[in-house]
Structure 1
Amino acid sequence: MELQPGREAIVRVAVATLWSSPEAVRPVDGPALTAGVDIPTWVSGMDADQQVGDCVLSQLLLGERVLVDELRPDGWARVVAVEQPAAKLDPRGYPGWLPADQLTPVDPHVGGDPLVVDATSTELRTAPGGPVALPGVVVGTRLVPAGPARDGWQPVHVPAHATPLWLPDGQLVPAPTEPPSAADALAVAQRLRDVLYIWGGLSAYGIDCSGLVHLAWRRFGVLLPRDADDQAVATTPVPLGAERPGDLYFFARPGRKIHHIGIVTAVAGDLADRRMLHACYRRRRVLEEALPADRIATLVGVHRV
């Protein structure tokens, strides 16, 4: 089978990066562009300015579905990430560009109730305890089991791999059938504390503010929009002062759209009691802190998922 415009495909690499255009990529982006993508090396090679370059739109996880809109002769595919809602950009999902060799056609013969990776990051192996076949798989990735666990290892179907790969059974959980509690999602986000801030990032190696929120709820099968302003539309406002841990703080400058989001971590009393976990652009990492004065000045709402 081959990729075809107008049909769905799935991501075959651990983490694929969605770009604004093929021409926007930089020399530093090489490790993120191949079929053997190496996101940790890509992230570690960037300086502080490159970490916030707007050429990166989002990232997609192994097995994530896309709709292929266009295939270019130079090996790039224009796609829509259908599992990342982005109503203001495209009602079908988040649009952007990927190297086509990071995708594979959907295999209609692979199906079943998925398992979800609960490890912050892990490696898929060729056999129980065997050589690493696919490193860098991150929390929230969904994989279809390829048979029963054996000696503490679970075989899974992996896109573009003819035979199952394996990972420790304890790193997988059944796909949830009920919505998570706010505390559950907050606990996932807290595991990403100190991860580097990467504009458009959506992995345990680099993430942005709305990516942190999207990934924390995605771990439980809740597909929030990808961008902060869309996340505000998709969630329910609650009165300021009534927030509880796991709710969302939204920030905007006067007359401007929402530009930042954080996850409430402490029950609010007065203004000085407000705390949040967020991927901080200015400090280039995920951190938990009391809201500084400039954040309080731009706080425009509290929402609940």
Structure 2
Amino acid sequence: MELQPGREAVVRVAVATLWTSPEAVRPVDRPALTARADILAWVSGMNTDQQVGDCVLSQLLLGERVLVSELRPDGWARVVAVEQPAAKLDPRGYPGWLPAEQLTAVDPTATGTAPPLVVDTTVTGLHAAPGGPVVVPGVVVGTRLVPAGPACDDWRPVHVPGQATPLWLLDDHLAATPPATPSAEEALAVAQRLLDVIYIWGGLSAHGIDCSGLVHLAWRRLGVLLPRDADDQAAATTPLTLGAERPGDLYFFARPGRKIHHIGIVTAPPGDGGERRMLHACYRRRRVIEEPLPADRTATLVGAHRV
């Protein structure tokens, strides 16, 4: 089946990058634009300035749904990422561009009854057979996969978009459908596994991530769909009285008269002297860190919220 405007498609690569426009991509971005989308090579090829280029909007994981709105003759598709709420941009989801060959059409006649499994290891690969060659490398935590049968010798077959036959991964790299009401502490535990991951503006994977991407991905792993951007995440969560926050809650930051620009995950109750700690993807340090709030962060702290 071919991609068609007005119809849904799904991501067929481990991690696809959503761009502001085809014209905005840079020479350094080439590894992320191929049919295999080598995100690890893309991240490792960038310098610290290129890591925060504003040509990147977000990223999409293998199997994630999009609505195709335009197909260009040069191979680019304009899409809406329907699993990444972005109310201020489009009520349907996050809009942007990606290479059409990183998508595959949805078969409207295909049905499945098995509940999806979710990748629960930081990074894994999908193999042609148990212990066989890797067909799709770089699959990240939070990716949802449809089982294609029972586990066999510690390996599990899964259906993969764009693949004619099931692929395999280690069964202990997967988890069952998350609980209906996951806790904030569970989300924090997911995020803590991404400590030291490189900061990438618009990143949403264990290869590179930004501050709101870290929060979105941690909760996505647990089956909770939060908006993609920090200001929308604030609008979608419940404000707390400062001092009532607990591990797994969220801190939001804004400069006077400006919209929210940063988010972190609370890692400890406030100290008696008002000391606070958080885990966040830090623009300044260019990686995910856990730290006490320095004075300049405290000065821009505008609230604590709970999911």
TM bin, normalised by shorter chain, reads over 0.9
Aligned twin of 2:293: 291
Aligned twin of 1:136: 138
1:209-220 aligned at under 5 Å gives the runs 209-220=211-222
Say whether the 8 Å CA contact 1:126–1:133 is kept in structure 2.
yes
Counterpart secondary structure, 1:23 = helix
1:186-265 aligned at under 5 Å gives the runs 186-265=188-267
Deviation at 1:177, TM superposition (A): 3.9
Cα distance in 1 for partners of 2:134, 2:292 equals: 41
Cα distance in 1 for partners of 2:275, 2:177 equals: 35
Taking only the aligned residue pairs, the percentage that are identical comes to 82
Aligned twin of 1:171: 173
| 1:61 to 2:61 alignment | yes
Aligned twin of 1:40: 40
Counterpart secondary structure, 2:40 = helix
| 1:154 to 2:124 alignment | no
Cα distance in 2 for partners of 1:181, 1:77 equals: 37
Aligned twin of 1:4: 4
Q: Kindly tell me the number of residue pairs found equivalent between the two proteins.
A: 305
Q: Which moved more, 1:175-184 or 1:124-133?
A: 175-184
Cα distance in 1 for partners of 2:157, 2:170 equals: 9
After TM superposition, the score normalised by the length of structure 1 is: 0.99
Aligned twin of 1:99: 99
Cα distance in 1 for partners of 2:34, 2:115 equals: 30
Counterpart secondary structure, 2:202 = coil
Cα distance in 2 for partners of 1:71, 1:35 equals: 16
Aligned twin of 2:75: 75
Cα distance in 2 for partners of 1:267, 1:119 equals: 28
Cα distance in 2 for partners of 1:206, 1:71 equals: 28
Cα distance in 1 for partners of 2:3, 2:301 equals: 45
Say whether the 8 Å CA contact 1:117–1:142 is kept in structure 2.
yes
Q: After superposition, what is the alpha-carbon deviation per residue over 1:112-160, rounded to whole angstroms, capped at 9, x for unaligned?
A: 3100000100000000000111100000000000011100100000001
Cα distance in 2 for partners of 1:271, 1:172 equals: 42
Say whether the 8 Å CA contact 1:266–1:273 is kept in structure 2.
no
Equivalent position amino acid for 1:281 in 2: Y
Say whether the 8 Å CA contact 1:272–1:291 is kept in structure 2.
no
Say whether the 8 Å CA contact 1:110–1:157 is kept in structure 2.
no
Cα distance in 2 for partners of 1:271, 1:100 equals: 53
Cα distance in 1 for partners of 2:288, 2:210 equals: 8
Counterpart secondary structure, 1:302 = strand
Say whether the 8 Å CA contact 1:63–1:159 is kept in structure 2.
yes
Structure 2 stretches lacking a partner, 5+ long: none
Cα distance in 2 for partners of 1:123, 1:254 equals: 45
Structure 1 stretches lacking a partner, 5+ long: none
Q: What's the C-alpha RMSD, in Å, of the aligned pairs?
A: 0.8
Say whether the 8 Å CA contact 1:104–1:159 is kept in structure 2.
yes
Aligned twin of 2:110: 109
Say whether the 8 Å CA contact 1:272–1:290 is kept in structure 2.
no
Deviation at 1:110, TM superposition (A): 4.8
Cα distance in 1 for partners of 2:278, 2:170 equals: 33
Aligned twin of 1:26: 26
Deviation at 1:179, TM superposition (A): 2.0
After TM superposition, the score normalised by the length of structure 2 is: 0.98
